[in-house]
Structure formats: C-alpha cells, structure tokens
C-alpha cells in the first residue's frame, strides 16, 4: 500500500496518524504539461487577474479535463477559456471548481459505512493491535467502528495508522478546475485560462530623504506585493493597476521599512516598471519576468529614484471653534508639513499610486539616516502638489485666547489672540489658519497681520516669528448663519 498523507491530532506529543490507500495511480487526475506562459495583473484593492496558457491533449469529441494549481481564492464564476493554437476548436460545456481537498476528515467522511483498517498503539507491555471493521462515525476525537468484536470506540490519540482501500474520486489534492469539453479533433492544443482571484494585492511605499536645510529631497518608490491567493506564479509577466476600480463584490481581504534609500543599477535584463495610462487608471508593467510565490511578500523598485526634488518645510497652526480634529482651543501644537510638486521640471511628473511616504533626514554626526515622520497619499497624478504632515514642532508653541465674544441680532463678533513662541535659533513663518464652519458667513473685521482668504472656510495669517522670540497675532472676526 502507498502512503498518502500523515496528519496529527491533539497537541503536544500526541501520536500521528498515517492514512494509507491502495492503488492511487488509477484515480489520480492527469496533469497538464508545464505552462508556456503566466500573466498576472494585480490591483491595489486585494485582487488580481491571472492569465495562464498551457498545452493540453484532447481526444476528438467530449473530454473531461483537469486544470490544477489554480488559486484557492479564485472566483470560479470569472473563468474564461480560450484555445489559442486553434481558436474555436475546443469549447467548454460544463465547469466544476473542486476545492474539497484531501485531508484526514474529508477522507473519513467519505468512508462512513465502508471497511477500514485501524492500527492502535500499544501501552506498556501491550503490543499494538489492528482493528478491521466498518466505520460508523468519526466524531471529534473518536472513531466508531463495527468490527467482529462489536462496536469499537477508538480515541484518535491512540491511533497510529488508518488504512483505506482507495482515494475517493471527488477529492483533489489541489484546487482544480474540472471541465467537460468538446474538441473538434484529437491532439495537443495551447489553451489559455483567465480568472480573477482574491487574497493578493499590492501597495506603494515611498522614501523621501530631506537635505540639510529642508529645501530638497531624494524620492524613491517601492511596490510591496502580498500573495495569499493559494497559488504561486512562476516567471510571470507582472502588471500592476493603480486607481479606484469599482467592483460589485470586493474580494477577500506588511510593511516595508528601509533604514536607507536603496539604489539599483538596472541592466537591460533588469528593467523596472513602465508606467502608462490605461482606461481611467494607471498601469505599471515590469520589464522582466518575476516569480510570485504563495504566502510571500515581494518588494520591487518601481520608481527610478529622483534626486534633488525641490521641497519646502511649512509650519501650520489650525484653530477653530467649529471643526478641529486636534482638540479645539486646547491645541498648542504646530504642524510640520513637507510640500513639493509632482512635476517633470521638479524631477518627478509621474503618476504616484496611493501609499505611505516615510521621510528621513541625514544625521551629519555619523552620516546615518534618521526617521522624521510619515504620511499617506492618495492616488496622485502628475503636476499635482503633495503636502505631507510628518509631525508637530517641538520648539514652536501656539497659545490661543478668546479675548471677547459678543452676539447681537444673530451676528457674532469675536476677538482672538494667538501667542506664537519660537524657541528655535532661526526665524520661522507660521501659517495660522482660522477655520470656520461651512454653514456660516464670515469676515475678518481687523487684524494685526495681513491675511488671505485661503478658501471659503479658512482665513490664513502668515506670521513671521524671529529666533528665540514671541509674536502675538490679534484679530476680530464677525460671523453669522445668515448673510448680512
């Protein structure tokens, strides 16, 4: 008898159970030849399109064909079959997706009321024994057999081996597509199967390294692919789709950290990703074959590093009585933002998929990169501006005081004072944003600093604060829920 599998029950030092079957060759499904090509298009919301071409042998007329090694997270309703070598010569009449894989429980379930042989381990001076009989039940950790000695209840912890006569035909060792096909002629055909699968996705990870005075940065991007689809894709043509693709039923639902900016010199055989517009999305095609194994996280550089990208460090203090995610008037924190433009003249000008940007800066004391903050961007087309909120300023403090508040005939007149204390040894400009609710009309009646109407809800005051000094901004605003 041939050994089929070995499984363990219980915990710790529980004995294993070896299940044997008889002649497996007759019931083993025929295996198709190696795949001439594999294509994999991965989407950022955790699903992919798989295209696989294999050579398959057909007899004229109806055939039952097995297409093995498909993803266990496949959507079987998405399968598309095509005969590439002779278009139209082979058609699929029926399709079954077989995913009831061989394991101890599935085998025993199919051997209820059938003859089995169980080898039970001995204890102490007792030798092991063999029990033959009809399997009545396999419940929890017990096997119930009807043998010549009557009803035998055997704990699985004492079972060494279970011998079965054959492998049931409806069990498979791997997820398999089973087709009833009709072929016009006998012979070998190159056939392509396309399907969608969940549990595989990708995300973008970016690294930005600021220069000494925070006026420029080096920018690079990597793609991280996480494959839990239940299949591997060897030497695949790899494409990535970035964008918000609508799906009626979303597929089923690791993080890269680099302590330094990676550089990779690519030869012709090591081509990176080529980006292009595709429909309303962006497609990134890898210029070489790549193998994506199951249960693997793979990282590939997908943006050629851009050096010396012009950038600007900005300090922003937001204040609002109506809307402030950072805690209203008790907030004394001044946000630090890094802004730069995704333009060709700024050494970028590329479509950036959504992802996390980690910002580093070099410590001149030992020439080591140190992490200084991170932010996440949405899909960003070329020629757009990026603003990264990377943290709060340590040495700049903002303190707000409501000096006066009057209401008359539905109009509110408020006087505010914001004290900005700069403990740095250099001058800074703090952008003070007074935020208004969307349902009010407002105007700045007077102020000690010039301001601009940034948008319908924001009055922005750029305030210069000298090194180790304090500046007080005072302003009066009038607002109402109706237009006066």
Q: What integer is the mean pLDDT of 342-354?
A: 94
- The share of the chain scoring above pLDDT 70, in percent, equals 84
Q: What integer is the mean pLDDT of 440-463?
A: 95
CATH code reported for the domain at 2-25+112-163: 2.30.30.100
pLDDT score, position 146? 87
pLDDT of residue 353 exceeding 80: yes
Q: What integer is the mean pLDDT of 271-296?
A: 87
pLDDT score, position 409? 85
pLDDT score, position 280? 81
pLDDT score, position 315? 98
Q: Measured between alpha carbons, how far is 392 from 360 in angstroms, rounded to an integer?
A: 15
Q: What integer is the mean pLDDT of 438-457?
A: 93
pLDDT band at 271 (very low <50, low <70, confident <90, very high): low
pTM given for the model: 0.70
Of the ranges 147-161, 199-213, 320-334, which is most confident?
A: 199-213
Q: What integer is the mean pLDDT of 349-357?
A: 93
In this predicted structure, which of 138-152, 258-272, 428-442 has the lowest mean pLDDT? 258-272
* More confident position, 272 or 186: 186
pLDDT score, position 187? 95
pLDDT score, position 392? 97
CATH architecture, range 396-480: Sandwich (2.60)
Three-state secondary structure string covering the chain: CEEEEEEECCCCCCCEEEEEECCCCCCCCCCCCCCCEEEEEEECCCEEEEEEEEEEEECCEEEEEEEECCCCCECHHHCEEEECCCCCCEEEEEEEEECCECCHHHHHHHCCCCEEEEEECCCCCCCCEEEEEEEEEEECCEEEEEECCEEEEEEHHHEEEEECCCCCCCCECCCEEEEEEEECCCEEEEEEEEEEEECEEEEEEEEEEECCCCCEEEEEEEEEEEECCCCCEEEEEEEEEECCCCCCCCCCCCCCCCCCCCCCCCCHHHCCEEEEEECCEEEEEECCCEEECCCEEEEEEEEEEEEEEECEEEEEEEECCCCCCCCHHHCCCCEEEEEEECCHHHCCCCCECCEEEEEEEEECCCCEEEEEEEEEECCECCCCEEEEEEEECCCEEEEEEEEEEEEECCEEEEEEEEEEEECCCCCEEEEEEEECCCCCEEEEEEECCCCEEEECCEEEEEEEECCCEEEEEEEEEEEECCCC
pLDDT score, position 19? 52
pLDDT of residue 276 exceeding 90: no
pLDDT score, position 26? 38
What residue spans define the domains of the chain? 2-25+112-163, 47-100+172-197, 396-480
Q: Could you read off the pLDDT of 156-179 as tens digits, one per residue? A: 888 888 888 877 766 666 788 999
- The share of the chain scoring above pLDDT 90, in percent, equals 58
Contacts of 315 (CB under 8 A, 6+ apart): 334, 335, 336, 337, 393, 396, 428, 429, 430, 431
Three-state secondary structure string covering 114-134: CEEEEEECCCCCCCCEEEEEE
* More confident position, 243 or 259: 243
pLDDT of residue 153 exceeding 90: no
- Closest-CA residue to 24 (of 130, 145, 107, 137): 107
Q: What is the mean pLDDT of the chain?
A: 84
pLDDT band at 204 (very low <50, low <70, confident <90, very high): very high
């Amino acid at each position: 008898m041939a050994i089929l599998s070995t499984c363990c029950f219980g915990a710790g030092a529980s004995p294993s159970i070896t299940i044997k079957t008889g002649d497996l060759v007759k019931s083993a499904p025929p295996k198709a030849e190696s795949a001439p090509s594999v294509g994999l298009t991965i989407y950022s919301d955790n699903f992919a399109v798989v295209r696989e071409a294999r050579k398959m042998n057909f007899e004229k007329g109806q055939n039952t064909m097995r297409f093995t090694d498909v993803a266990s997270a496949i959507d079987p309703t998405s399968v598309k079959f095509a005969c590439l070598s002779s278009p139209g010569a082979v058609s699929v009449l029926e399709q079954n997706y077989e995913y009831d894989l061989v394991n101890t429980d599935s085998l025993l379930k199919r051997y209820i009321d059938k003859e089995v042989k169980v080898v039970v381990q001995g204890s102490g001076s007792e030798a092991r024994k063999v029990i033959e009989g009809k399997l009545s039940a396999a419940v929890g950790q017990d096997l119930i057999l009807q043998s010549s000695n009557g009803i035998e209840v055997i704990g699985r912890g004492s079972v060494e081996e279970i011998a079965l006569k054959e492998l049931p035909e409806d069990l498979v060792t791997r997820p398999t597509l089973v087709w009833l096909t009709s072929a016009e002629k006998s012979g070998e055909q190159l056939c392509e199967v396309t399907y969608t699968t969940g549990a595989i996705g990708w995300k973008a990870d970016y690294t930005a390294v600021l220069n000494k005075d925070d006026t420029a940065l080096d920018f690079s991007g990597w793609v991280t692919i996480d494959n839990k689809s239940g299949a591997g894709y060897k030497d695949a043509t790899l494409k990535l789709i970035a964008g918000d693709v609508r799906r009626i039923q979303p597929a089923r639902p690791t993080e890269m950290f680099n302590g330094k900016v990676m550089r990779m010199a690519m030869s012709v055989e090591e081509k990176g990703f080529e980006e292009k517009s595709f429909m309303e999305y962006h497609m990134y095609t890898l210029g070489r074959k790549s193998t994506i194994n199951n249960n693997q996280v793979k990282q590939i550089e997908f943006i050629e590093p851009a050096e010396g990208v012009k950038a600007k460090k900005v300090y922003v203090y937001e204040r609002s009585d109506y809307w402030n995610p950072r805690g209203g008037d008790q907030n004394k924190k001044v946000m630090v933002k890094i802004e730069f433009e995704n333009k060709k003249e700024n050494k970028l000008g590329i479509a950036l998929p959504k992802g996390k940007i980690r910002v580093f800066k070099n410590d001149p004391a030992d020439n080591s990169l140190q992490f200084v903050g991170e932010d996440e961007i949405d899909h960003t087309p070329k020629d757009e501006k990026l603003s990264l909120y990377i943290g709060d300023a340590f040495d700049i403090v903002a303190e707000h005081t409501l000096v006066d508040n009057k209401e008359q005939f539905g109009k509110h007149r408020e006087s505010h004072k914001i004290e900005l204390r700069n403990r740095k040894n250099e001058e800074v400009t703090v952008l003070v944003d007074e935020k208004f609710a969307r349902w009010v009309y407002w105007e700045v009646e007077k102020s000690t600093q010039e301001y601009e109407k940034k948008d319908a809800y924001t009055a922005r005051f750029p305030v210069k604060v000298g090194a180790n000094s304090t500046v007080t901004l005072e302003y009066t605003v009038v607002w109402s829920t109706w237009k006066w």
